[in-house]
Copies of this chain bind each other. A is one copy, B any other.
Amino acid sequence: MFDKGILLIISGPSGAGKGTVVKELIKEDKYCLSVSVTTRKPRPGEIEGVSYYFRSEEQFEKLIADGELLEYAAFCGNYYGTPLKYVEERLAEGKNVILEIEVQGAVQVKERYPDAVLIFLTPESISDLEDRLRGRRTESDEVIAMRLSRAREEVKLMDKYDYIVLNDLVRNATSRINGIVETEKYASERNKDFPSKFLSEKGVD
């Protein structure tokens, strides 16, 4: 059966707990995080090829022009993007590559790479989201109001995603995501070579 990795895009409202869920997933060897390219200057302790790939603006624009980015965006005067080559190499090794990006980026990736699986990670309701944001005790009422208003817009774009995963408990969310990855590997779309393997001496491995 399908033995490559799956490209998993995880998006969701700020406060949905994406960071925690992703951290939990990549404890398992079968997952890895994509390493982004950026034009931002390295901060102390950041390592080239681990934290980010650090590139000049000129180099970054060449990557765009050459179609070597799965998606990119500008943020606070810097570019951030996902290098196609890095992702493809990990997938070929059988690693499921996780990209934690926003809706716009997710849609870009799906266009470039239709095999990507788009997951919308979300609390059960807007009031749960508010509780989570308040529970952090790090954000002002104003910032919280802005994030809630943004979440109301983001949830409307849910139909761009393949799956909706509730993050009621981190262990539930990760087990749902593990199930999605497992199931996607049986999709007939990913096993077009099945008939020829089935008919060969060796069969399906």
Contact = CB atoms under 8 A, between A and B. Distances in A.
Contact of A188 (B1, B125, B158, B200): B158
A198 interface: yes
How many copies of this chain sit in the oligomeric assembly? Answer: 2
Nearest to A2: B164
A198 B167 CA distance: 13
B163 A188 contact: yes
A129 to B, nearest CB: 9
Contacts of A188: 120, 158-159, 161-164
A85 interface: no
Interface stretch (A35-43, A61-69, A174-182): A174-182
Given A1-B164, A179-B183, A158 B194 contact: yes
Interface string A178-205: 0110111011100110110111111110
B122 A198 contact: yes
Sorted nearest first, the 9 A-B pairs with minimum C-beta distance are A125-B203, A183-B183, A124-B203, A163-B186, A155-B195, A124-B204, A161-B188, A180-B183, A179-B183
11 contacts: A122-B198, A125-B198, A125-B199, A125-B204, A126-B198, A127-B203, A158-B188, A159-B192, A176-B186, A180-B183, A180-B186
